[in-house]
Amino acid sequence: MCGIVGYVGGGQAAEFLVDGLYRLEYRGYDSAGVATLDGHGVLHLVKTAGRVDRLQARLERAPAPGAMGIGHTRWATHGAATDANAPPHLGGDGSVAVVHNGVIENHAALRQRLLADGYRFLSETDTEVIAHLVDHCLKGAGPDADLAADGYEALVAAVAEALAQLRGTFGVAMMFRRRPGVLIAARRGSPLIVGVGRGEHFLASDASPLVGRTGRIVYLGEHELAVVTPGDLRVVHRDQGRVRHRVEQLEIDSGQVELGPFDHYMLKEIFEQPETIRAVMAGRIDHDAATAKFGGLNLAPHELRAVDRFLMTACGTSWHAALVGEYQMEALARIPVEVEYASELRYRNPPLCGHPLVFAITQSGETADTLAALREMKRKGYCTLGLCNVVGSTIAQESDGGIYLRAGPEIGVASTKAFTSQCTVLAMLALYFGRLRHLSFDAGLRVIEQLEQLPEMVAGALETNDAVRRIAEKYAGCDNFLYLGRQFNFPTALEGALKMKEISYIHAEGYPAAEMKHGPLALVDANTPSVFIMPQGPVYDKVTANLQEVKARGGPVIAVVGRGDTEAASLADDVVEVPNVDDFLQPIVSVVPLQLLGYHVALLRGCDVDKPRNLAKSVTVE
């Protein structure tokens, strides 16, 4: 959640800061602000509750000049979304400006101590506690600690002393009124990236603000602090002292963060799915061995063959992908799978006997609950794999091995292309583990054939866009939806319902279709559409019977079916036909019209499709 940007160099900082905050809007926020320091030592602070557009309007009336600055979009955790609580926050008499992602768990105790020391608080935020604490430590280091020409050692020591007193997670950036040309950034559990330019450096929560500014980046590691000046970058580790940082190439191009011909990022990302699925599979199919291959598992085949159980942990859409993976793994690899909400697993102590392998599945690689669950499983000595989309993310760094989704930046808050990429990777893993065990060469080739046809099948599902729009116009006024599927498409029903509720604010629920008669059937009426996901397969007749139960009670039915299905067309009120694929790939194809349905209904209801209320893209708080 939230977005940090920073700049130090020869240009005007505010221009980069505002542009960067626009690019970080997808992370979720309810207030925004910037602080800059000009050449006369004057600190300019402009902030507001609301959107970056409102911040931009204020800056047009009261510019914030200066060649260095920091900015932030805040998602409220401590204190309401007000101008006073908007970032950045100042410490002491304005000697230090701070922006911060994460949650400081001991902020209340620190606030009381600082109040006793005479500090005056202007907000309810935990970020202001950091600002005053840094000021307090600077004063304790001597009156000129923030001016000492000693290579920044005194400044770094004072900041490190303050950060050591914080409990919780943070990504933090700060600048000092009496030390122009120096930014300090630090990370504990919340990502920060430094962009390396010529005579300038940039800071950001993720890579999107850096696209078009620089192609060279440095991922700050856990417990690292960076001293950033126009011409230099120094990185200090909490325990190891100064460390050599590695400059990497930024793998994102400008086309991936621009809308192009689309009205919204969500629609753009839905239509990118054929290409992102191709990217997932590129170089990972081995026809000679009739299997998949992955370069980052970091476990030998004999070690992987010894695995006798999978534990998959995730949140939200990634949890639905894990449920799809459960069906895929058990069908192709014949290995038992447990799927756990990460928010529950992190506080449980499940008995895992034998040789389990833990999968942490996440788009951002920073999801707080998933990261905590991963760390708990590592503490217990289990092997872990991370499936994530963001290179250099915390989960990618802390897993024993992992697989990148290669989906490119996903900017819309409601995940679409990451879900289908996750399901594709899991299908490939199921093939890989199946071939390690019982799956024959010919059977492996048949799976590969289906996988290689998948991008075209998803492209075929995208052809339903116009039909789905017409259906959305028919039902956009409804306040409740039911989504129903069985076997592989039960998780599809859950994901379709989530897409509807998170962007249109309509109450929607997903169920196994046969469970309708065990309670949810009471919800069926003429104003509650039921969306059945029912492509041809082993349980098609059973789902058809469930559909008839809804129709018998006057409920309207939308059916997502395989092409050429005349039986469902004769029963349902509205039908969407998708290409026919094997059941282990059906969720990847069938979810596409459900994504489009949520999108079009939200548009018709006047909702902000890319930035739904109360939500954030990267959930870095518990």
Annotated catalytic residue within 268, 417, 501, 617: 617
Residue 27, amino acid: R
Give catalytic status of residue 617 as yes or no.
yes
CA of 568: how far to CAs of 495, 541, 551, 586, 613, in Å?
Answer: 22, 10, 12, 17, 36
Burial pattern 337-372, b for ≥16 Cβ within 10 A else e, equals bbbbbbbebbeeeeeeeeebbbbbbbbbbbbbbbbb
What DSSP string describes 193-231?
A: EEEE-SS-EEEESSSGGGTTT-SEEEEPPTTEEEEEETT
Sign of CA dihedral 449, 451, 456, 460: positive
Q: Is 616 helix (H, G, I), strand (E, B) or coil?
A: coil
Read off the tokens for 502: 């998170």
d(CA 494, CA 316): 10
d(CA 578, CA 468): 12
Q: Which of 553, 509, 619 is nearest to 189 (CA)?
A: 619
Give alpha helix (H) positions in 273-386. 273-281, 301-305, 316-332, 342-345, 368-379
Give catalytic status of residue 2 as yes or no.
yes
Sequence-ordered list of residues with C-beta below 8 angstroms from that of 456, at least 6 positions apart, any chain: 274, 579
CA of 272: how far to CAs of 265, 440, 596, in Å?
Answer: 10, 33, 13
Whether 482 contacts 513, CB under 8 Å: no
Whether 364 contacts 388, CB under 8 Å: yes
What DSSP string describes 257-280?
A: SS-TT-SSHHHHHHHTHHHHHHHH
d(CA 432, CA 436): 6
Rg, C-alpha atoms of the chain: 26
Annotated catalytic residue within 2, 137, 315, 423: 2
Secondary-structure percent of the chain, ordered helix, strand, coil, rounded to 5: 40, 25, 40
CA of 81: how far to CAs of 33, 74, 188, 205, 617, in Å?
Answer: 12, 8, 25, 21, 18
Omega of the bond leading into 579 within 30 degrees of 0 (cis): no
d(CA 605, CA 622): 30
Whether 325 contacts 333, CB under 8 Å: no
Active site residues: 2, 617
